[in-house]
Amino acid sequence: MLLGRSILALVTAHAVASAFQIPVVWDAKSTSIDTEPLEKRPFDFENPETNCKYVSQPWIFDVFQNIATDMEGVFKYAADDITFRIMGHHPFAGHYDNAMVAYANSLWRLNNCLQDRKVDAKIWGIHGGCDQAWTVMEFYFNATTNRGDFWELTSLWVARWGEDKKLHEVRTYVDAGQIIKTLMDNEIYFNSSDRVYHSDFVPGPAGLPPWMNKTGLAKEVNPEL
């Protein structure tokens, strides 16, 4: 009898709750949730002013919008005294005093992991600048790897500009996990196997063991020795 009364009470409670339940209708127009991917949105300048002490946001956009295909056009704005740091703990991370070395060791190396070195790049946001020396640029890259996999990467550049419109300091932040995975999947010398026949020296950044420099093998790596 007690069990029967308990079940009856539960059924009654459920019926009452259902009778007074108000259906919830989601209205996309009244919500702050982003419904469109960032890579598909038209670019909107926070500050479109062009009469600036340093660099304007529209000027930065013009320089960086072709970063995937014209890196030379970007680095011509690197000052001679530039400090370029790739932040994090991954194969690209490091402190560079030469922007070209930073590019060759990172973006160029990455491009070689992608089909035909073709990358689609979009600027998601530009913050600061104009009468402020510091700017923050947000980038989105996507491509197809040499293995045929879809690939994407987000990157953040924190940069200090001079009144000469040159980059004097840059800190870049990238997805370390994606970088490591891309290199492991697509660079044979980073992730080799027993099917690869090795005939070239790839000792890594430390170079050859000291004792090898005393042999003829060293001249095969560096003919100037």
Q: What is the pLDDT of residue 222?
A: 61
Write the CATH number of the domain with boundaries 38-186.
3.10.450.50
Low-confidence ranges of the chain (pLDDT < 70): 1-41, 189-193, 196, 198-206, 208, 212-225
What is the per-residue pLDDT for 129? 97
> Using one digit for the tens of pLDDT, what is the confidence trace for 94-103?
999 988 888 8
Residues paired with residue 154 on neighbouring β-strands, in sequence order:
140
Detail the DSSP E strand segments found in 145-202: 150-161, 167-174
**End-to-end CA gap in the chain:** 99
Give the pLDDT confidence score for residue 22 in this predicted structure: 42
User: What is the value of pTM for the model shown?
Assistant: 0.69
For residue 28, what are its two tokens?
Answer: 């996309």
Burial tier of 224 (Cβ tally within 10 Å: 0-12, 13-18, 19+): exposed
**pLDDT at site 5:** 55
Which residue has 């060791």 as its token pair?
105
For residue 114, how many other CB atoms are within 10 A of its CB? 19
**Backbone φ, ψ for residue 147 (5° rounding):** -85, -5
- List Cβ<8 Å contacts ≥24 apart for 103-108: 103/71, 103/75, 107/71, 108/71
d(CA 106, CA 86): 9
Which amino acid is residue 93, in one-letter code? A
In this prediction, residue 82 carries a pLDDT of: 94
The pLDDT of residue 67: 84
| SS3 readout for 197-214 | CCCCCCCCCCCCCHHHHH
**What are the extents of the domains in the chain?**
38-186
